[in-house]
Amino acid sequence: MESADFSPTSVLYSPPGAIPDRVEMAPPSPARCMEGSSSDDGGDAYEPQDNTHSYVQIAIEVTFPNLDQAFLDDAFAHALRWQEENPIDPTFQDKDDQLLAAFASIFYRTPLSQSTLPGQGLPPFSDAATACLKIRGPLWMEVVSIDDLGVSAFQLERVRLERRRYILDRVSQAARERKVFSRDESAAIRATLPKYPRKTLQLRLTDGSQEIDAFEINGPLPHISLDETFIGHKIRLENFHIISGKAYIMPCNIAEVGGPPPELWDGMHTVTLHTRMEREVQLCQELGVDLQDLYDLSGLWGPNRETTAQY
């Protein structure tokens, strides 16, 4: 099956296609639910409405709330055209499931600032120091940056360089052999990359209009890590808390995670790594500890804890 071009540009600026009429979901009266029953206004036999694509449209409205209408129409038309040009993938139950997957792929590749209605995500001033509230959701958020506060920035940078060196060695070998990696071969290389250590993730998230810092609590978040989550990934959150302008995310708050297929090369994880390195060096000097001992909590919570709290 041919791969689809679901880039954000082709979604937002492709010529509009024929969009099927949206299905009104008002429930019919009990009398009209029975085949052959007469209507209230004249006894005409009941004829079922055309439910073409109704399942997909309802699923989109439930799974992807608060979409901009222009994006919704254009993305749906693009997914329809793609499905008409490609056979049914046997991994899907039917064509409706494949159409929904095609729409989801477009959504994952498009920035929320271009796909969602402004002002329909986080409440205003959610990042204020006085903001304390619970967000029921569901709410789609986009990863702006991701970091691990429980691991030294120097250690994260060392792993990043090891991963890039690992990839470069294999790409250089393929170039000498005049070979182009297939998608499966690229995935196999990514699966064998050195792994990042995992302690406590910090994410910078946006709803397309405003940003907020988020921290994982009560265990690792499913399908979110420095190894597989990159800038632009989408996370569907439910029932999470904002305390003092910071979001605290538990594993049970993650309803869905989606993003474009990973590239062979690492995505950018964080924009603050080198700043963290400078702070770690300064903190080591102030506390009089070695860098390898900096993340030993038993060594931090001593006489200098007030200095530590500033960082």
Q: What is the pLDDT of residues 120-158, one digit of tens each?
A: 899 999 999 999 999 998 999 999 988 888 888 888 888
pTM of the model: 0.71
Residue 221 reports pLDDT greater than 90: yes
All structural domains of the chain: 54-149+197-267 (2.40.50.140)
Give residue 267's pLDDT. 54
Query: Which whole number is the average pLDDT over 165-188?
Result: 85
Residue 283 reports pLDDT greater than 70: yes
C-alpha dihedral, 29 to 30 to 35 to 37, nearest 10°:
-80
Residue 49 reports pLDDT greater than 90: no
User: Phi, psi at residue 284, to the nearest 5°?
Assistant: -60, -40
Q: Which of 88-92, 166-170, 186-190 comes out lowest in average pLDDT?
A: 88-92
Decide if 200 contacts 224 (C-beta within 8 A). Answer: no
Q: Which of 47-51, 182-186, 267-271 comes out lowest in average pLDDT?
A: 47-51
Residue 15 reports pLDDT greater than 70: no
pLDDT band for position 216 (cuts 50, 70, 90): very high
d(CA 95, CA 182): 27
